[in-house]
Amino acid sequence: MTVDDAQLVALIDDELDEEAKVRLLAQLAADEGLRQRYEELREAGAQMASSFDALLKAAPLSRLSAALPSEPLARPASPARPGIARRELVAGFVLGLLAAGAAWIALTVARPANDWRSAVAQYTNLYTNATFAPLNPDAALEAQELAAVGARVGAKLTPEDVALPGLRFTVASTLAFDGWPLAAIAFVDPNGSPVLLCIIANGGADSALRLETREGLPLASWSRDGRGYVVIGRQPEQRIAEFARLLEQRI
């Protein structure tokens, strides 16, 4: 059965019914070329979303809002588009914001290097117990995803390396922060609550494991060999620390 990009995007956006999802995941496990196309589509959408989030966070919203008309513009009604891809929505928002604030964007300055942890915390706060719970890849697809994201950040990752007690692997994605590749590996506990392991290849100096709270979430971080690591989730701080210590020993 031929698989087109629309089906892959529907899988990325979790818009397939259970039967179609299982069938497509089986095809991904058996077809290396199809897996590569799937990763390209997912990375493209993630990078666009990451860029939009950084842009929105830094934008002077009060000044941009003041430039808008005081009365809302009338818009013709249009029918809803079923199955619209997430990357299309993000692209529309980005284009609108660029049109309103292009002159200001050119004047933005570099952010502190540790802001990537804050960005991870902000994203994690957007996830719910329903975000990753439906994803349940087999061992072959898990190994494939981990190898792909590990290659982008210069780390050898295997299912055994990242396995955490009481958590189930769901998906591994390649994102970017300020041009640095960022691997995001998502797990869920039995209730579906997400826990993320994030790795950024930013050339940072080595640092010991430390615990802190960002965006109301416990976060453990450390750096080694030019890579930064973060473990974060809606779990007790002691449990996040336990996960981080296990991972620090393995990867």
**Tokens 């080595």 identify what position?**
206
Task: Specify whether 101 is located in the same domain as 143.
Answer: no
Burial per residue of 135-165, b for 16 or more beta-carbon CB atoms within 10 angstroms, e otherwise: bbbeeebbbbbbebbbebbebebeeeebebe
Task: Specify whether 49 is located in the same domain as 148.
Answer: no
Task: Specify whether 128 is located in the same domain as 242.
Answer: yes
Task: Specify whether 143 is located in the same domain as 96.
Answer: no
How many structural domains is the chain composed of?
A: 2
Distance, in Å, from the CA atom of 214 to the CA atom of 183, rounded to the nearest integer, reads 19
Tens-of-pLDDT digits for all 251 residues of the chain? 577 778 888 888 778 887 787 777 878 777 777 887 888 777 766 655 555 555 555 555 554 455 444 444 444 444 444 444 444 444 444 444 444 343 333 333 334 545 899 999 999 999 999 999 999 999 999 999 999 999 999 999 999 999 999 999 999 999 999 999 999 999 999 999 999 999 999 999 999 999 999 999 999 999 999 999 999 999 999 999 999 999 999 99
Task: Specify whether 100 is located in the same domain as 120.
Answer: no
* Token pair for 159: 């299912």
CB 170 within 8 A of CB 187: yes
Mention every residue, 6+ apart, whose C-beta is less than 8 A from residue 179. Answer: none
Q: State the virtual CA torsion across 130, 134, 139, 143 in degrees, nearest 10.
A: -50
Task: Specify whether 58 is located in the same domain as 139.
Answer: no
User: What is the model's pLDDT at position 1?
Assistant: 55
CB 72 within 8 A of CB 29: no
Q: Is residue 228 part of a domain?
A: yes
Task: Specify whether 45 is located in the same domain as 26.
Answer: yes
User: What is the model's pLDDT at position 54?
Assistant: 56
* Token pair for 40: 């390209």
Q: pTM of the prediction?
A: 0.58
Task: Specify whether 237 is located in the same domain as 152.
Answer: yes
Q: Residue 94's domain spans which residues?
A: 5-66+84-105
